[in-house]
Amino acid sequence: MRIQRTLPPAAAPIAADDICKGFHALFSGNAEVENFRAEVQNYFQTKHCFLLSSGKAALTVILRALKRICPERDEVLIPSFTCYSVPSAVVRAGLKVRLADVSPETLDYDFSGFPVHSGHDERLLAVVCPHLFGLPADIMRMRRTLNDSGAVVIEDAAQAMGTKHGDRLLGTFGDAGFFSLGRGKAFTAVEGGIIITGSKRLAAEIENCMQALNPNTAGDGFRLAAYALALSILTWPAFFWLPKAMPGLKLGETLYNPDFPIKRFSSFQAGLARGWQNRLAAFQAVRKKNVLAWQKDLARFSWLTPIPERNNSAAETPPLIRLPVMVQSTDLRDALLKASDAHGLGIMPSYPGAVNGIAGLQCVNGPDNFTGADKCAARLVTFPVHGFVTRRDRQKILACLEETGKS
Ligand SMILES: Cc1ncc(COP(=O)(O)O)c(C=O)c1O
């Protein structure tokens, strides 16, 4: 165990004052939740908004609602390289996972080999399009590609709350969108999921699914409060070595587990989130500044390719939650991760493997080869861009890159 300054890979800090607001809200019933819901609805200018216990709970509820609308369709297309919560939610909704490969240049779907073409695809219920790390996926291209297949586009904006593409917020391009308020996301309420949709029919079915959920208990509120307190302290670089040293916490691991709780968002979380628009905007401004700084600094390392590569437009640079960087080889990637771990630099691997390799998950086209996903799993790392990254941290990381590049 190394007791040293350790950068978390991503962070959206929680202050003591936020926790006090959460506690206060514990005693104010549903009004705080309704207030948060109205704010989210107004922010995204969306007709319908639902609040749940997590991003995967949100995706599951969207899929259950879609299944009620189209019971004859039972497959959901997801990228072969994404968070394992996504296939977990598909399976939890009682549906089958179909996979398509990703492009290692964009982390979006590889449209050149896309397995759905125009025309009717009778089994396909929905396509999930994630904005990985906050990188805008090409939803309009997806819509054109699906054409008249009859499948619905679900925007997985779990990692992209508050990010715009052009002048439109991510999450509002699909037939439905969802966000995560989990740890390490753009903004956190410790846990949480948000669904937005403009479809009246889908919203009515989602509302039916919501009615079936059990109400939150006082125990849920106190569990979340304890978690918030721990997070507010342990995300600081001075203390992050501690949770990192506890293997039982499985920090940074992405797990496949369809057996997760599906609950409503609690009043504690709504209280904790109070003032979220300003806090989110402040976090995003710092992240964008750091993405731009990394893009400039990494240009001299030929063995590292940030995604997206530097372009000259600061306005078009998204405020990512972590900067994904492709490393030239797996050996260099491993050397970099080892050095980062030793010095607490916050450079982390991404997902450990393609979705078709998940033990216990059966995909409709599982035996296919997903070379884009395999390349990402073998060579992608992420650099920290949150507000705890200081100039001195950046210098230490750059010195580590110089050393690793010589090896
Ligand atoms: C791309 C993506 N989709 C969905 C989820 C699920 O969100 P949650 O952790 O809130 O269940 C995550 C969470 O990490 C994610 O990164």
| Pocket, ligand 1, Cβ cutoff 6 A | 54-56, 82-83, 85-86, 130, 156, 158-159, 180, 182, 193
| The pLDDT value given to residue 120 | 63
Q: Calculate the dihedral angle through the C-alpha atoms of 381, 385, 387, 392, rounding to the nearest 10 degrees.
A: 80
Q: How does DSSP classify residue 405?
A: H
Q: Calculate the dihedral angle through the C-alpha atoms of 294, 297, 301, 305, rounding to the nearest 10 degrees.
A: 30
Question: Phi first, then psi: what are they for 239, rounded to 5°?
Answer: -120, -10
Positions of E strands within 80-203: 96-100, 124-130, 152-156, 164-165, 168-169, 176-180, 193-197
Dist. CA 301 → ligand 1 center (Å): 31
The sign one gets for the Cα dihedral 305, 308, 312, 318 is negative
Mean pLDDT of 97-103: 96
Nearest CA among 288, 277, 372, 299 for reference residue 44: 277
pLDDT(359) > 70: yes
Which one is predicted more confidently, 205 or 27?
A: 205
Shortest-distance atom of ligand 1 to CA 59 = 4
Write down the number of H helices and E strands in the chain: 13, 13
* Atom 3 in ligand 1: residue holding the nearest Cα: 158
Q: Give me 162's structure tokens.
A: 């508050």
**Model pTM score:** 0.97
Mean pLDDT of 340-365: 95
- Coil, strand, or helix at residue 241? helix
pLDDT digits (tens, 9 = 90+) for 128-163: 999 999 999 999 999 999 988 889 999 999 999 999
Shortest-distance atom of ligand 1 to CA 182 = 10
pLDDT(178) > 60: yes
Dist. CA 407 → ligand 1 center (Å): 35
Q: Among 20-24, 246-250, 252-256, whose mean pLDDT is lowest?
A: 246-250
Dist. CA 183 → ligand 1 center (Å): 10
Shortest-distance atom of ligand 1 to CA 192 = 10
| The pLDDT value given to residue 194 | 98
Dist. CA 221 → ligand 1 center (Å): 21
Mean pLDDT of 100-125: 86
Domain boundaries in the chain? 16-218
Mean pLDDT of 18-36: 93
Average pLDDT over the chain, rounded to an integer: 94
pLDDT digits (tens, 9 = 90+) for 207-253: 999 999 988 888 898 899 999 999 999 999 999 999 988 876 666 67
Q: Using 50, 70 and 90 to split pLDDT, how confident is the model at 366?
A: confident
Dist. CA 215 → ligand 1 center (Å): 22
| The pLDDT value given to residue 308 | 81
| The pLDDT value given to residue 245 | 86
pLDDT digits (tens, 9 = 90+) for 278-298: 999 999 999 999 999 999 999
- Nearest 5°: the CA angle 222, 225, 231 is 145
Dist. CA 185 → ligand 1 center (Å): 9
Return the best residue to mutate from 159, 254, 355 for the ligand 1 pocket (most ligand atoms within 8 A of CB): 159
Return the best residue to mutate from 56, 109, 320 for the ligand 1 pocket (most ligand atoms within 8 A of CB): 56
| The pLDDT value given to residue 115 | 76
Dist. CA 400 → ligand 1 center (Å): 30
Positions of E strands within 275-339: 304-306, 322-327
pLDDT(56) > 80: yes
Distance CA 144, CA 43 (A): 27
Which one is predicted more confidently, 115 or 234?
A: 234
Percent of the chain with pLDDT strictly greater than 90? 85
Q: Kind and range of the H or E element at 219?
A: helix 218-234
Mean pLDDT of 350-362: 95
Q: Is the domain covering 16-218 a CATH 3.40.640.10 domain?
A: yes
Highest mean pLDDT among 15-29, 272-286, 354-368: 272-286
Dist. CA 150 → ligand 1 center (Å): 26
- Report whether 93 contacts 67 (CB < 8 A): yes
| The pLDDT value given to residue 214 | 84
